[in-house]
Amino acid sequence: MNPDCMREAIRCAHEGIHHGQTPFGACIECNGRIVASAHNLVFAGTDSTAHAEIVAIREAQEKLGRIDLSNCTMYATTEPCPMCFAACHWARISRIIYGTSIEDVRVLGFSEMTLSNISMQKLGGSRMEIVGGYLLEENQALLREWEEMPDRKVY
């Protein structure tokens, strides 16, 4: 696991929240180098599918010129939602490493489904490796910073 990649995802999330977005960031690492990083663009583009993971996957696929990201790792500040998990699966991302859990953001008002990545992995027969709680304190601090913002939005 590469702490620099998770910190890049956290940096992106900070950038996003200071532009009126939600506190989520993602970073994709391939062969030891960062190829894409992003924050949510849901409100910026009026697009409920513009989660950080989806934006980062699109960027990585474009930069690499391929849809198969099987040698890549997704770093996400929060456990990917079911849509983002499925996108990682379809992109053949080898590993997801995340900080806070779906439940952590659900209690903040986000309309998260309670279907965890581990549950989806088992139900779908995915071989993707999943690691949660990575740099947890730094990711929790990000959520606390967002929570203190007076004009924060949830969806």
CA–CA gap between residue 84 and residue 76 (Å, rounded): 10
Query: Helix, strand, or coil here: 148?
Result: coil
Catalytic annotation present for 148? no
Looking up tokens 């990917």, which residue turns up?
80
CA–CA gap between residue 103 and residue 124 (Å, rounded): 21
CA–CA gap between residue 155 and residue 135 (Å, rounded): 25
User: Which candidate in 8, 29, 53, 112 is catalytic?
Assistant: 53
Tell me which amino acid residue 88 is.
C
For residue 79, the 8-state DSSP code is: P
Query: Helix, strand, or coil here: 124?
Result: helix
Helix (H) or strand (E) holding 38: strand 33-39
Q: Which positions are annotated as active-site residues?
A: 53
